[in-house]
Amino acid sequence: MAEIILSPIKEMEIRTAKVSNSVSLAQGVADFDTPECIKKGAIEHINQGDVAKYSLSPGIVELREAIEIDLNKREIYYDFENEIIVTAGAIEAISATLLTILSPGDEVVIPDPTYTSYQEAIKNAGGVPSFMALSEEDEWSFDEKKMEKKITTKTRAILFCNPNNPTGTIYRSDQLLRILEIAEKNNLYILVDEVYRDFIYDNQEFYSIGKFSKFRKRIIYIFSFSKSYSMTGWRVGFLATDKSLAQKILARHDVLVTCAPVVSQWGALAALEMAEEDKLYFKNTFKDRRDLICSHLDNLKEWFNYQKPSSSYFVFPNFSKKLIQALNREKEIKKYNFQDHQKDSLSWQLALDLLYEAKVAVVPGQAFGKTGENHVRMCFGRSDGDILKAMLRIESYLNKKYKQGLFIKSKVYF
Amino acid sequence: MKKIFRFIIERYLKLLTKIIIYRKKPLIVAIAGSSNKTFIKDRILEEMKNENGVRGNPRSFNTEIGLPLAVLFLPSGYSSIFKWADVLLAGSYISIFKKDFPKILVLEMGISKKGDMKYLLSIIKPFIAIISDIGQNFSDNKNVIDQEMANLVGSIPKEGRVILNADHSRVRDLQKKSKAPVILYGKTKKAQIKITKIKEKNNGQSFNLKLNNNKKQIETELFGVHNVYALTAAKIAVNEIRKIKK
């Protein structure tokens, strides 16, 4: 079994917890509490004695019905009785699916950069991640020729999130169709995590892959309540796929968790039934925060280039030539306690510089794949105050430290 | 304090609902069961979308407080005393003065414990009852749920209709409790309205249904046998509503 490393996002959060007075834009967590109506919905069921026992393994009937109804509104059609499984967040849905479809050594193509835990989930299921670089100059779009080259006799699936984390970009419907056609031609499954589907800005079009019902036997549609309803700690999500596969995944899901936390399932039901306004409020607030963080990035043009994200709550700036040169010069004297996979990574170097010297946590781009190197991910789900504080600290730190190509010697950290 | 507050709202909404129903006398279709209630309601509303004066309840509005809100077509005040004051004020106006009111109400009846159905039936008097299924949940207490469903079936007047899913034996058995004509639907031979030839495709499913001596193939983009049942129950209900209205 391949070695699994702790997600760099979690590693940054652990490091951040030890740095006093730090501000974190690292983990994808919003600063909002779960909406009141969701908490009350869950409390009501706690008081009624509905949460002490396991639910049916695929989830409580009421929630699966509500999920089917919600999907129907999005023109996505699955049978709640046989094709929808409530899971302990999106990552359990992904893990249960990969454990079901992969044999040792099977490859899974993942567009790069992408959410950092996908590669570990693939390894955890005995598979091998195969990275396919997205094209930054073309708004992080995917190139079908590159993807086809990545397909080998061992390839079993393609896994990606749409909208994409960390770039905040959206796959167009024609791109999705092309991916599906490639999957059809090569007999592959497509796992799509739509955790950020509810945060689309500037009237951009979002087309869900679930609408391509012609390919439903290949698609595993995945969603988590974590982001849309500020429920990251509740650990609840779901997957939907054709029953021929769903019943096999259900057996894995049962082995992994028996059922998703029942109290969270009732919370998720309340979310679907009552939290529409809260979701809209979150979206509008994130849009304002995106504009806030981007206005500060505009002041840092000397150090970063970025594409304004049209969804999610992440921005993924890349390093300017000047910043790369400065970091390379300092690399020779810097001594962080790097693990093998972090060595020679400028994104790790800057992320740790920012954490220990500016007291701001961001995620090094390398965490999201090779193409993510020389970038950092910043989360604008945090409060306005945190974003402002973090960006002013970054601005002040970079401007002071690397003025006119000069730099101050850093401390040595172990 | 909260309990007293809730009790007052519950009783006042009940009173307002009884007044409007007494004044306007809508035909009420009640849908009950462990699952599939919303699908049946939505399909009925779809079938009748071109007819004026038909209204259903929002999904979560099917309990002691939710059902009156659905009848009065009002939002919940959630936990705000001020919002509830607005809701009750608006409800008072609707109940006593409002002239326009739907002629047909399609309502889900949500129950979770003994006595729930009796309480809901003390607010509204359904003319048609549809029972989808019983018993998908671990938490269901068999005897209680069956008794609650029997209360609904038994409340339908003899001029009304009871529409039961014959493929579920616990639902089928409820026919014994009915004073009204019973229509059984399903795949089983025991059904009067038979569902045959269910075929799944990539873009949905199709099935055959014989209604009013007409055999029809019905197509839907929805998956799962529960959607076949929902469409069937809805078609039967709409057919019966039209017969009653003639």
pLDDT digits (tens, 9 = 90+) for B199-222: 999 899 999 998 878 889 999 999
Residue A406: CB atoms within 10 Å:
9
CB environment B95-125: b (16+ within 10 A), e (fewer): beeeeebbebbbbbbbbbeeebbeebbebbb
CB contact under 8 A, B35 and A37: no
Q: Are strands A237-240 and A219-224 parallel, antiparallel or unpaired?
A: antiparallel
What is the number of helices (H) and of strands (E) in chain B?
Answer: 8, 9
Which ipTM value was assigned to this complex?
Answer: 0.90
Tell me the H-state helices in B98-224: 116-121, 142-155, 169-172
pLDDT of residue B57: 87
Q: Which residues of A touch B38 (CB under 8 A)?
A: 65, 69
CB contact under 8 A, A69 and B226: no
Q: What are the strands, taking DSSP E only, across B61-181?
A: 104-108, 128-131, 161-165
ω before A163 within 30° of 0 (cis)?
yes
Sequential DSSP letters for A169-207: ----HHHHHHHHHHHHHHT-EEEEE-TTTT-B-TT----
Query: In the predicted model, is pLDDT for residue B4 greater than 50?
Result: yes
Task: Report whether B200 contacts B221 (CB < 8 A).
Answer: no
Distance CA B174, CA B149 (A): 8
Phi and psi (nearest 5°) for B156? -75, 125
Tell me the two tokens of residue B123.
């607010």
Q: Which residues of B touch A78 (CB under 8 A)?
A: 223-224
pLDDT of residue A204: 93
Task: Report whether A124 contacts A5 (CB < 8 A).
Answer: no
Q: Which residues of B touch A48 (CB under 8 A)?
A: 112-113
B189: left (phi over 0), alpha (psi -120 to 50) or beta: alpha
Among the listed residues A172, A387, A392, the one whose alpha carbon sits nearest the alpha carbon of residue A286: A387
pLDDT of residue A413: 39
Task: Report whether B113 contacts B120 (CB < 8 A).
Answer: no
User: For residue A217, with 0-12 CB atoms within 10 Å meaning exposed, 13-18 middle and 19 or more buried, which class applies?
Assistant: middle
Tell me the two tokens of residue B71.
């009848």
pTM: 0.92
How far away is chain A from the Cα of B78, in angstroms, using its nearest Cα?
Answer: 8
Chains A, B: CB pairs < 8 Å: 63
Lookup result for tokens 């609840």? A236
pLDDT of residue B142: 64
Among the listed residues B163, B188, B136, the one whose alpha carbon sits nearest the alpha carbon of residue B31: B163
Chain A residues at the B interface, defined by Cβ less than 8 Å, are: 36-37, 40, 48, 50, 53-56, 60-62, 65-66, 68-69, 72, 77-83, 213-214, 216-217, 273-274
pLDDT of residue A410: 46
Geometric angle at alpha carbon A307, from A302 and A312, rounded to 5°: 130
Chain B residues at the A interface, defined by Cβ less than 8 Å, are: 34-36, 38-39, 42, 59-60, 78-79, 112-113, 136-139, 202-204, 221-227
ω before B75 within 30° of 0 (cis)?
no
pLDDT of residue B136: 60
Tell me the two tokens of residue B184.
């059984």
Q: How many residues does chain A have?
A: 414
- Residue B202 has its nearest CB partner, among A56, A65, A214, at A214
Q: How many residues does chain B have?
A: 246
pLDDT of residue A256: 97
How far away is chain B from the Cα of A168, in angstroms, using its nearest Cα?
Answer: 31
Give the number of C-alpha atoms closer than 13 A to the C-alpha of residue A161, restricted to the C-beta side: 28
- Residue B60 banded pLDDT, cuts 50, 70, 90: low
Sequential DSSP letters for A49-104: T-SSS---TT--HHHHHHHHHHHHHTT----TTTTEEEESHHHHHHHHHHHHH--T
Among the listed residues B227, B226, B30, the one whose alpha carbon sits nearest the alpha carbon of residue B116: B30
Q: Are strands B161-165 and B182-186 parallel, antiparallel or unpaired?
A: parallel
Among the listed residues A275, A256, A259, A277, the one whose alpha carbon sits nearest the alpha carbon of residue A267: A275
User: For residue A274, with 0-12 CB atoms within 10 Å meaning exposed, 13-18 middle and 19 or more buried, which class applies?
Assistant: buried
Q: Which residues of A touch B139 (CB under 8 A)?
A: 50, 53
Task: Report whether B72 contacts B16 (CB < 8 A).
Answer: yes
pLDDT of residue A403: 64
Distance CA A134, CA A114 (A): 9
Distance CA B172, CA B164 (A): 6
Please report which helix (H) or strand (E) contains residue A19, including its range: none
- Residue B138 banded pLDDT, cuts 50, 70, 90: very low
Tell me the H-state helices in A187-275: 225-228, 243-257, 262-274
Distance CA A382, CA B190 (A): 60
pLDDT of residue B137: 58
Among the listed residues A32, A108, A84, the one whose alpha carbon sits nearest the alpha carbon of residue A386: A32
Indicate the SS3 state at residue B133: coil
Task: Report whether B199 contacts B206 (CB < 8 A).
Answer: yes
What are the 10-residue block averages of pLDDT along chain A, 414 residues in total?
Answer: 81 89 90 94 92 95 96 97 98 98 97 94 96 93 91 98 95 95 97 97 96 96 97 98 97 97 98 94 97 96 94 96 88 69 85 93 94 96 95 92 56 38
Q: Residue A127 has what DSSP assignment?
A: -
- Residue B59 has its nearest CB partner, among A37, A53, A273, at A273
What is the number of helices (H) and of strands (E) in chain A?
Answer: 14, 14
pLDDT of residue A333: 63
Q: Which residues of B touch A214 (CB under 8 A)?
A: 202-203
Task: Report whether B184 contacts B192 (CB < 8 A).
Answer: yes
Query: In the predicted model, is pLDDT for residue B74 greater than 60?
Result: yes
Mean per-residue pLDDT, B44-55: 93
pLDDT of residue B214: 87
pLDDT of residue B209: 94
Residue that wins the pLDDT comparison between B2 and A224: A224
Distance CA A283, CA A274 (A): 16
Q: Are strands B104-108 and B54-56 parallel, antiparallel or unpaired?
A: parallel
Q: Tell me the sheet residues that pair with B195.
A: B209
